[in-house]
Amino acid sequence: MMMFGFSTLLDLLSWIVAVTLGVKVLATLILLNFDKSVWDQPGWGAILWWSTKITPIIAVPCVIFIAWLQGMNDQIWIFVGLMVFVVVAVPWKIRQRRARIADRATVELRSDKPNPSVRSASRSAATSAFFHPNEADNRQAD
């Protein structure tokens, strides 16, 4: 079904699908190594999280177009069903993320005084040591 040359529209669409889904898999594997609080903070975690949501929106229409160009009418309906799933699932996950961020902000606002350890306590030990090596050195010195 997919072709990986460099000269036709099918080749281009095949490369787009392969690259976008590869980015999704890579971003997912990286994100699964960290806590969800890292995913929601501005920076690389948020970029990787968004890339896992945007890439299917790019890849599935390309797959539909590839199937249409090759006359695979039976497979088109499968891919249209996949696109319906993506159109429902992506906004749902975005709403869940926004609710998670809002809940976390509400918990921090309800505390009597600002507690700087709330943010560091929510980070996993690996994330903390990787991004804040001086803090890890200070803890070892105690």
The model's pLDDT over 5-25, given as tens digits with 9 standing for 90+, comes to 778 899 999 999 999 999 999
Domain count for the chain, please give it: 1
The model's pLDDT over 23-76, given as tens digits with 9 standing for 90+, comes to 999 999 999 998 888 888 888 888 999 999 999 999 999 999 999 999 999 899
Of 92, 61, 57, 53, which Cα lies nearest the Cα of 79? 61
* Residue 49 domain flag: yes
Structural domain that includes position 54: 9-110
* Residue 121 domain flag: no
* Residue 133 domain flag: no
* Residue 131 domain flag: no
Average pLDDT over every residue of 86-91: 95
* Residue 123 domain flag: no
Within a 13 Å sphere around the CA of 73, how many CA atoms are in the beta-carbon half? 0
pLDDT of the residue at 121: 46
> Cα(90)–Cα(93) distance, rounded to whole angstroms?
5
| Dihedral sign from CA coordinates of 5, 74, 80, 21 | negative
pLDDT of the residue at 51: 93
Inter-residue contact 124 to 34 (CB < 8 Å):
yes
| 0.95 exceeded by pTM | no
* Residue 75 domain flag: yes
* Residue 122 domain flag: no
* Residue 24 domain flag: yes
Quick one: pLDDT band at residue 116, thresholds 50, 70, 90? Answer: low
